[in-house]
Amino acid sequence: MSLAFDDYGRPYIILREQGSKKRMKGLEAYKSNILAAKAIANTLSSSLGPKGMDKMLVSPDGDVSVTNDGATIVEKMEIQHPTAKLLVELSQSQDAEIGDGTTGVVVLAGKLLEQALTLLDKGIHPLKISDGFDRACDVAIKHLENISEEIDIQANEHEALIQAACTALGSKVVSKRKRELGKIAVTAVLDVADLGRKDVNLDLIKIQTKTGGSVEDTRLISGILIDKDMSHPQMVKEVNDAKICLLTCPFEPPKPKTKHNINISSAEDYKKLYLQEQQYFVDMVKLVKDSGANIALCQWGFDDEANHLLLQNNLPAVRWVSGTDVELIAMATGARIIPRFQEITPEKLGKAGSVKEVQFGTSNERMLVIENCQCTKAVTILIRGGSQMIVDEAKRSIHDAICVIRNLIKDNRIVYGGGSAELACAIQVLQYADEVSSVEQYAIRSFADALEGIPSCLADNCGLNPITSVAQAKARQLQENNHRIGIDCMELGTTDMKEQRIYETLSSKKQQIQLATQVVKMILKIDDVIAPDDY
Amino acid sequence: MSQFLQPTILLLREGTDTSQGRAQIVSNINAVQAVADVVKSTLGPRGMDKMIQTGPKVTISNDGATILNLLEVVHPAARVLVDIAKSQDDEVGDGTTSTTLLAAELLKEAKPFIEEGIHPQIVIQGYRKALELALEKLEGFSINISRDSPEDKRNTLLKCAQTALNSKLLANTKQFFSELVVSAVEKLDPNILDRDLIGIKNVTGGSVTDSFLVDGVAFKKTFSYAGFEQQPKRFENPKICLLNLELELKSEKENAEIRIEKPEEYQQIVDAEWALIYEKLETIVKAGAQIVLSKLPIGDLATQYFADRNIFCAGRVAQEDLLRVQKATGGQVQTTVNGLNPETFGTCGLFEEVQVGAERYNLFKNCPQSRTATIVLRGGAEQFIQEAERSLNDAIMIVRRCFKANKIVAGGGAIELELSRYLRHYARSVTGKTQYIVNSYAKALEVIPRTIAENAGLNSIEIMNKLRQRHAQGGDEGRWYGVDINGQSGVCDTHSSFVWEPSLVKRNALCSATEAACAILSIDETVKNPKSDQDTKMKPKGQPGRPPMGMRR
């Protein structure tokens, strides 16, 4: 790229390595940016909705993942283009904030950009377009709040929560079991939720996966599951009324951190040293035993010598428990983490109803289940499934469902899904457009068109005729003044989403529209792209 | 060096390029124009953004200084522009694009004079004279804002912040952010106004309007060891102990070696090490600390020890965060626990760990000596937040400046036009070449309103005519007419529509733009030593080289 030429047509060298840089300006820049972003949105659009399809992504190492989750797809696509990357971040920030609706937000942004492109062709200034979008966004958000309904999350055994979870799970590979999984997710969240502060710490829900079995075998453990087994095969497999000793020190002779050398000059000394080492083991086991503990979990390892002693003393033990697990167990059982054998006291032990080792199928793998803990503040969802891919996808799906439930606990307002909320907003925005006298009117109208893109995309993915079904739904919304009319994706015979019980959280919908508008505005504001000319 | 006659006298090392004379000045001016053209479209409320990719990093920005910096300009004359943009950024924080444009325009106006053979020094003198007059007049025109009541003052600050945010991505939420910025600056010590004490933290996710101001310090939860979750996460009026000390079980001295003669001594060494760390921890607990922050790591042992005693701790707190906690809470950072006493502890009204988006944040609120504030920025994409941060930075700088100086001028090109009118008027009263030059200076000033109008897609010629007419009518009435991007007529009184800027920004912009223009005009020879610059692609002009790749497009 060259910025200027002299009288003889020779370029000035102004920038470093300017020969290898590429510059796009004005309309060319807008268009190339929009096209790149649209390409991403198009890839995702077929994943939207209950009949959305999955994507298979193969990583450079050959790992295959099959997923329907927007954030995961765009993340694994390893996108290079700078503008397209903005959409990736968009999806991820929706994921971080809400956890659900990651596909929808990208599709909406894509639709908005598509509309912006036609407006640009009409010769409207990009900032006028983004101003219009901004105003339309405000109208849409306000309308969403108007049509949202408060639900009672406690009523009817948390039926509303389960339905919302089912909506989130509806589009995933596990949709056949959505009711069961939804229930599991709801119970898990309610177990750890602090309803008074309306706060849910998702770190307290551990999702553990295990290949084998089927998705139906997925279950909730009101306690903790760790992917470890007893350190010695002959140790007891089940401890009831467990008093757990959590250690962060190894069953080994203590080592000073300062560099040290031991010089032994005589055989007696050697013997003494040996005996002393032995004594350490005996003392350690004794200290644990004396405190009343009947199981020891250790963050570090211990050698066979200690293992043998533990077995002899009838003290089941687990080694190499990860730091996060140690913390979770401490929270759940009320144990204090003990850094040193000398500090073991009976008060510091955690209590659990039972600790047992379970085996899965015919495989030799075992896991440790800690149940009925003293203060059940941590739960585990054990996901089973036929293959690694299914298990992984199920994990992502359940994560989405958990996020939805958490959001509902935070803010119990919902809107109806199936594209009905978008349609209702579109109608409202369209009405507003007619009141605006400036150029923005076009942009506002286009915003409404873009919102309609979501139900039309849903219909398309379900094999319905997108144009007819959206037109029908829109007409009925207007005729009956019923904002709950959407697309009947599941072909249940009704388009009233309240009857279909398709619930989505208000916060997620709001966030989708706001974030998409924000990113589109940003893309529209770029009129100059300077990049290395290598792709 | 073909122009040397035989016998060749070699003055310079082979490969050295020199170019000189009038052509050199003109060529420099051309190069400067090209650079200024890049940032031209970012000016004004309808200014656009630039996306610049450097390596894997992508920056989207509207800030003149940022863009110029990322362009990696190597042309020696054009670099001057980058430098003045930077100096404007450092000095006042805003107005970098206008400074660059002004400098380029001054040079453009000077070009015909140079080509016609007027000595550059005469042009320079003329420009200097014009600058002097302009500055004097700027002082006279600027409006003193009454600061009798705090509301008035606050109002002024808000208006100035909004003007600074006008051209940025945050334009639509400028009301919200100007509140945020002004409140943040008000928190600072009015005598020093240390910019470093306003922290900006970015958390992706959420809408921009979810951003909030913390009256105190906020930082992201640091890396924590097992046991952290068992610590209390909320305190009222806590005692905060600030340390620059590692709380871990480790060897006290590197490279130390211990020789143990008897096996019995072994345990003693082990115990000694434990005793050391326990002693430290105990001192802290005994002194009554409730929150322990350290710049260096706090190990798992200490974490659990504190958890057992209902103390909150965070290790590896970033230096700047720790410094701000110190300022806010009135504590003192200790490098040892010896002599730890309650006087060295800080305190705040409320400490809390809260979830912001996907992150957990530690907030210290209602600090007694609150001389610091933190803005937590939310937004959709990483680049969005980064640009938002830069924009807020500009606004903060402006508010800071405005806090001290209470003189403002109207923006939207109004002040430039008024100065231009005055200079034109003055030019008529002088004789000689200076007349032309002062006139040119006046013309160059018009670049600001013209570019604003152009960027907004308005008919710039029509607007300029309207504006000139308004200003020519004179008096206070026409004085503050500037470009209006929203209205039908395209012009309005920008003073009464609250497009306000501190006059300091303009003053500095005029000074540095004129200085830069004069500097470039006074260069009449460039000698480039080949060794000093390895970049072979960088050929001086006038030398036929291999056709650059840039010719393609």
Q: What are phi and psi of A226, to 5 degrees?
A: -125, 145
Please give the C-alpha separations between residue B333 and each of A533, B209, B221, B298, in angstroms, as whole numbers: 50, 35, 19, 15
Half-sphere exposure of B240 (CA within 13 A, CB side): 33
The CATH number that applies at residue A456 is 1.10.560.10
Residue B454 pLDDT grade (very low, low, confident, very high; cuts 50, 70, 90): confident
Q: C-alpha angle B368/B374/B378, rounded to 5°? A: 145
On whether residue A410 sits in a domain, the answer given is no
- A531 and B379 within 8 Å at the Cβ level: the answer is no
Q: Give residue B542's pLDDT.
A: 42
- Which chain B residues are Cβ-neighbours of A262 within 8 angstroms? 260, 263, 266
Domain count of chain A?
2
Q: Are residues A425 and A368 part of one domain?
A: no
Whether residue B201 contacts residue B219, with contact meaning beta carbons closer than 8 Å, is answered with yes
Task: Answer whether residue A207 is part of any domain.
Answer: no
Which of the four pLDDT bands, split at 50, 70 and 90, describes residue B546? very low
Classify residue A246 as left (phi > 0), alpha (psi -120 to 50) or beta: beta
* One domain for residues A368 and A462: no
Q: Are residues A360 and A438 in the same domain?
A: no
Report the C-alpha gap between A141 and A136 in whole angstroms. Answer: 9
Contacts of B488 (CB under 8 A, 6+ apart): none
Best CA proximity match to B299, nearest among B311, B286, B321, B316? B316
Whether residue B230 lies within 8 A of chain A, CB to CB, comes out as yes
Q: Are residues A428 and A364 in the same domain?
A: no
Interface check A197 vs B, CB under 8 A: no
| A127 and A227 together in one domain | no
- Are B45 and B501 spatial neighbours (Cβ–Cβ below 8 Å)? no
Greater pLDDT, B546 or A514: A514
Q: Is residue A169 part of a domain?
A: no
Do A342 and A430 belong together in one domain?
Answer: no
Other residues' Cβ atoms within 10 Å of the Cβ of residue A281: 20
CA atoms within 13 Å, Cβ hemisphere of A516: 34
Q: What's the pLDDT band for B549 if we cut at 50, 70, 90?
A: very low
Q: Is residue A434 in a domain?
A: yes
Residues A431 and A340 in one domain: no
Q: Is residue A7 part of a domain?
A: no
Q: Does B208 touch chain A (CB under 8 A)?
A: yes
Check: complex ipTM more than 0.85 = no
On the question of pLDDT at B65 being above 60, the answer is yes
**Residues paired with residue A149 on neighbouring β-strands, in sequence order:** A414
| B369, B330 Cβ separation under 8 angstroms | yes
Nearest to B144 by CA among B482, B502, B465: B502
Phi/psi for A333 (5° steps) reads -100, -5
- For residue A29, the chain B residues in CB contact (below 8 A) are 51
Domain containing A330 — which CATH number?
3.50.7.10
Tell me which residue of B120, B188, B239, B115 sits closest to B404, measured CA to CA.
B188
In a domain, A455, yes or no: yes
Give the mean pLDDT of chain B.
82
Residue A136's pLDDT is what?
93
* pLDDT in 10s for each residue of chain A, 535 residues: 666 676 666 677 777 777 777 888 888 888 888 888 888 888 888 888 888 888 888 888 888 888 888 888 888 888 888 888 888 888 888 888 888 888 889 999 999 999 999 999 988 888 889 889 989 999 999 999 999 888 877 777 778 888 888 888 887 877 778 888 888 888 888 888 877 777 777 777 888 888 887 888 888 888 888 888 888 888 888 888 888 888 888 877 777 777 777 777 788 888 888 888 888 888 888 888 888 888 888 888 887 878 888 888 888 888 888 888 888 888 888 888 888 888 888 888 888 888 888 877 666 678 888 888 777 667 888 888 888 888 888 888 888 888 888 888 888 888 888 889 999 999 999 999 998 888 889 999 999 999 999 999 988 888 888 899 889 888 988 888 888 888 887 777 788 888 888 888 898 898 889 889 988 988 888 888 888 876 4
Look at residue A44 and give its three-state secondary structure.
helix
Answer yes or no: is A456 within a domain: yes
Q: Is residue A162 part of a domain?
A: no
| pLDDT on residue B5 | 54
Inspect the interface and report whether the beta carbons of B305 and A339 lie closer than 8 Å: yes
Using CA atoms, how far apart are residues B263 and B301, in angstroms rounded to an integer?
Answer: 26
Q: Which of A43, A67, A69, A218 is catalytic?
A: A69
Query: Cβ of A82: how many Cβ atoms within 10 Å?
Result: 21
Secondary structure (DSSP) of B399-464 = HHHHHH--EEEETTTHHHHHHHHHHHHHHTT--SHHHHHHHHHHHHHTHHHHHHHHHTT--HHHHH
Taking alpha carbons only, the member of B486, B412, B396, B7 closest to residue B170 is B396
Residues A304 and A361 in one domain: yes
Share of residues in chain A with pLDDT > 90 (%) = 10
pLDDT > 90? residue B390: no
Do A424 and A367 sit in the same domain of this protein? no
The pTM of the full predicted model, rounded to 2 decimals, is 0.82
- Does A272 lie at the interface with B, CB-CB under 8 angstroms? yes
DSSP structure class, residue A295: E
Q: Which residue range(s) make up the domain with A317?
A: 223-376
Of A40, A157, A15, A472, nearest in space to B549 by CA = A15
| DSSP state string for B117-174 | T--HHHHHHHHHHHHHHHHHHHHHHSEEPP-SSHHHHHHHHHHHHHHHHTTSGGGGGH
Q: Which amino acid is at B467?
A: L
Q: Reply yes or no on whether the pLDDT at B107 is more than 90.
A: yes
- The rounded distance, in Å, linking the Cα atoms of B226 and A337 is 8
CB A333 within 8 A of CB A375: yes
Cα torsion A452, A454, A457, A462 to 10°: value is: -110
Q: How far apart are CA A518 and CA A93, in angstroms?
A: 12
A112 with A255, same domain: the answer is no
Chain B hits for A33, Cβ within 8 Å: 51
Same domain, yes or no, for A258 and A333?
A: yes
- What's the confidence (pLDDT) of residue B517? 92
Cis peptide before B7 (omega within 30 of 0): yes
The residue among B134, B106, B132 whose CA lies nearest residue B120 is B106
Task: Give the bridge partners for B376, in sequence order.
Answer: B201, B212
The alpha carbon of residue A87 is apart from the nearest alpha carbon of chain B, in Å, by 8
**How far apart are the C-alpha atoms of B414 and B411, rounded to whole Å?**
6
Indicate whether A240 and A362 sit together in one domain.
Answer: yes
Which tens digit of pLDDT belongs to each residue from A124-147?
A: 888 889 889 989 999 999 999 999
